[in-house]
Amino acid sequence: MAIEAALAERSLTMVNKRDPYKLFHKVTRAQLLSQTPSFGWALYWKGVGLAAPAHINVTEPAFFQEVERQLKTRAIADWKTYLRWHLVHNKAPYLSSPFVQANFDFYSKYLRGVTEMQPRWKRCVRYVDRDLGEALGQVFVEKTFIGDTKSRALSMTKEIEKAMEADLRQLAWMGDETKQQPC
C-alpha cells in the first residue's frame, strides 16, 4: 500500500491528464536511462518484444522520479508483494469465483458503489469483445459481406465519407488551411 500511495501522490490528477501539454515530455533513451537507472529498461523492452526506442515520451516525469526513488529505498520483498498483487488484480476476472467476487466487492462495490455484478455471460461477452474484437470483426466481415453485399457497404461508406467531407468544408469555425487538408 505504501508503494501505491507514494506513486499515486506523484501521478498527475485526472484533470491534469486532460491537458496534452502536461503529458508531453520527449526524452532520448539515454536521458530516460539516466533518470531511472534502477529500472531494467533493456530487459523490459526485450520482454515486451520492442526494440529500444531512440526517443520516449515520459508522460509523467514526477511519477518516474518516484519510481526511481522507490526502487532505491524499498525492499525487494515489498516489490514482489506489490507486483504479485497487481498481477492477481489484473487477472482476477479470469480466475475462480472467489477472486472475481473479491475484486468486484472492492473495486466495483466499495469504490464505485456498483450494487450488483453483471451476469457471467455478459462479462464473458465483454471480455471477448475487448480482447478479440478486431479479430472477431474480421471473421464477421468475411462471412457476412460476400458478393455484392461488400460492394454495397463500401459504396455506402464512401458516400457517407463524401457527405462528411462536404459538411467539414462548410464549418464556419474551422480555418481555411485546415479545410484544405485531405479528409
Q: Who has greater pLDDT, 178 or 13?
A: 13
Distance (Å) of CA 158 to CA 7, 142, 155, 161, 163? 48, 19, 5, 5, 9
Question: For residue 29, how many other CB atoms are within 10 A of its CB?
Answer: 15
Question: For residue 159, how many other CB atoms are within 10 A of its CB?
Answer: 10
Domain ranges for the chain: 1-74, 76-140, 145-183
The pLDDT of residue 100 is above 90: yes
Q: Who has greater pLDDT, 176 or 28?
A: 28
CA dihedral 169, 172, 177, 181 (to 10 degrees): -30
Among 47-56, 95-104, 169-178, the least confident range: 169-178
Helix (H, G, I), strand (E, B) or coil at 139: helix
pLDDT mean across residues, the chain: 93
Q: Residue 56 pairs with which residues in a beta bridge?
A: 27
Q: Nearest 5°: CA angle at 10, between 21 and 34?
A: 80
Q: Which amino acid is at 21?
A: Y
Model pTM? Answer: 0.64
Mean pLDDT, to the nearest integer, of 80-101? 94
